[in-house]
Amino acid sequence: MCNTQNLARTIGHPGCGPAPQIQRDGRPRGAARPAVLIALTATLALAAILGTWALRRRSAAERTRNVILIIIDTVRWDALGCYGNALDPTPNISGIAAEGVRFDQAISSSGWTLPAVASILTGTWPTIHGGSGKGVLLTPIRDELPTAAEIMKTEGFNTLGFANAAFVSPRLHLDRGFDVFNHRYAYNWNVRRADETMDAVLELLGERWTDSNFVMIHFFDPHLDYDPPPAYATKYTDGRTEPALPLTMQACLAMQSEDGGSPSSADIRYVRGVYHGEVACVDAQVGRLVDALKTQGIYDNAMLMITSDHGEEFWEHGGFEHGHTLYDELIRVPLIIKLPAGIEPVERVVDAQVRTLDLMPTVFKLLDIPKPESFVGDSLMPLIRGETIADRIAFSESTLYGNNKRSWRTARYKYIRNIGENGQQKAELYDWRSDPAETRNLVAELPNVAARVHGEFSDFCEAIDAQASRMPYRPSVNMSPREIEMLRSLGYIRDD
Ligand SMILES: [Zn+2]
């Protein structure tokens, strides 16, 4: 793809959804702007962006100080072609995976957005970073912990963030350390589509690209409501079009049986097909970014990371959406790293368990940046180099809905502690290697294993709870009454 096409796409809005209604400055897009003025603006923007990128191309290409972190909200690992999805809605991401390293057992710190994204950016567990919530009460991350963007900024990086959700917002302090935080405050509606997000990315990169750049891009499209643009709406649904788009929470729950049982397999296939359309839409924009970076000579030496904050449940355990459990359909996520040129991975596919909070420690290691003590993850480089290392434990926690839960995933077993309102605790133990769908609770069958894993889990929880209790209290922020009313009316706030 040539620059002109890139920038035409930056200025126009191709192929991935309708033209957005409102620009970031609040002006209705395209309203009363003469065609000549648009063309002139486009030409000037083209010249400015070409000049900026071209002038800086050589120095950027000579160094490996360009780090791009892409977080695609709500994307299950099995939604991607490179993880074996036969529909292959993600050829561009598969291309990046083929050049890089794919991690097959990557675990997020939580099953919903705020704690999961905060764990990536602060490098620690939700209990410690504090970014969490229940229902309509949300707690911002603790300001005494450094964020990835702050560290990168201190190291001389230009820090640019693009985010698309209320749960990844300045209100929750997730913008800390970013020179620019380009944000759309959206719930399941008012979503900035992937093409519009990429327009903003390319425009800002054109204006602000320097020799050292840390860029975070958060896409929200695969999150409810499922409403892919026309080109993707029926691509994975075998032609089915009903119920009509957008598929809202209410529309999906309406497919359940009267007693709340799962929808028919045909209905689930339809819902997932529409969801795959959203995933494909994001993939197209990832491809657009790759093309732009290649055109500017930046791609080869850049480090690219692609992951998700959490997955999505399509009734595998009787529920729908996310934020309510810690089963693997929610906490197992895709993780792909393309390394800068000159670093040849020994392993292209890593089966060992890793955590999304290992991402930033990997960046720090690669760039020779001292890892702050609060970043508890470990670099993934030893695994990429094919070294045998000790198993990593994945701890996950925080539910937005329902009972509090915590999970402890070892190299073989997954232990889940479900804490009821009256303090009643329910334990689950799964051999996830042989039972990846987590269908057989082994607590009674393997009491010694359950006791051992429970002991490790309890010691860990005691330690982080004690650590958190010594940290300053953080007040929660309430959503506005209007937000609460709207979310409740649409079924996004649950009383369970
Ligand atoms: Zn999310």
Mean pLDDT, rounded, for 308-335: 97
Q: How buried is 266 (Cβ within 10 angstroms: 0-12 exposed, 13-18 middle, 19+ buried)? A: exposed
Cα 396 to averaged position of ligand 1 atoms, centre (Å): 15
Helices 91-99 and 265-295 pack at an angle, to 10 degrees, of 60
Cα 223 to averaged position of ligand 1 atoms, centre (Å): 7
Cα 324 to averaged position of ligand 1 atoms, centre (Å): 12
Whether the predicted pLDDT of 68 surpasses 60? yes
Cα 224 to averaged position of ligand 1 atoms, centre (Å): 10
Contacts of 460 (CB under 8 A, 6+ apart): 393, 395, 408
Q: Is the pLDDT higher at 489 or at 474? A: 474
236 three-state secondary structure: coil
Whether the predicted pLDDT of 475 surpasses 90? no
Structure-token match 């920038």, residue found: 7
Mean pLDDT, rounded, for 120-143: 92
Cα 119 to averaged position of ligand 1 atoms, centre (Å): 12
Name the helix (H) or strand (E) containing 307.
Answer: strand 303-307
Gap between the Cα atoms of 81 and 184, Å rounded: 28
Q: Is the pLDDT higher at 10 or at 383? A: 383
274 three-state secondary structure: helix
Whether the predicted pLDDT of 487 surpasses 50? yes
Cα 295 to averaged position of ligand 1 atoms, centre (Å): 31
Cα 73 to averaged position of ligand 1 atoms, centre (Å): 5
Cα 341 to averaged position of ligand 1 atoms, centre (Å): 31
Cα 194 to averaged position of ligand 1 atoms, centre (Å): 15
Cα 331 to averaged position of ligand 1 atoms, centre (Å): 11
Gap between the Cα atoms of 464 and 125, Å rounded: 8
Gap between the Cα atoms of 294 and 420, Å rounded: 52
CA 353 to chain centre: 18
Give the pLDDT of residue 490: 58
Cα 399 to averaged position of ligand 1 atoms, centre (Å): 12
Q: Quick one: tokens of 494?
A: 């649950």
Cα 113 to averaged position of ligand 1 atoms, centre (Å): 3
Give the pLDDT of residue 20: 27
Cα 446 to averaged position of ligand 1 atoms, centre (Å): 34
Cα 74 to averaged position of ligand 1 atoms, centre (Å): 5
Contact by Cβ (8 Å): 155, 162 = no
- This prediction's pTM: 0.86
Cα 292 to averaged position of ligand 1 atoms, centre (Å): 26
Gap between the Cα atoms of 67 and 159, Å rounded: 10
Q: What is the pLDDT of residues 379-403, one digit of tens each?
A: 999 999 999 899 999 999 999 988 9
Give the pLDDT of residue 479: 66
Mean pLDDT, rounded, for 440-464: 97
Q: Quick one: tokens of 107?
A: 């675990």
Domain 3-393, what fold?
Alkaline Phosphatase, subunit A (3.40.720)
Cα 474 to averaged position of ligand 1 atoms, centre (Å): 22
Whether the predicted pLDDT of 11 surpasses 60? no
Q: What is the pLDDT of residues 283-307, one digit of tens each?
A: 999 999 999 999 999 999 999 999 9
pLDDT band at residue 57 under the 50/70/90 scheme:
very low
Q: What is the pLDDT of residues 15-55, one digit of tens each?
A: 333 322 223 322 333 333 334 334 444 444 544 444 444 43
Cα 289 to averaged position of ligand 1 atoms, centre (Å): 22
Write down the domain spans for the chain.
3-393
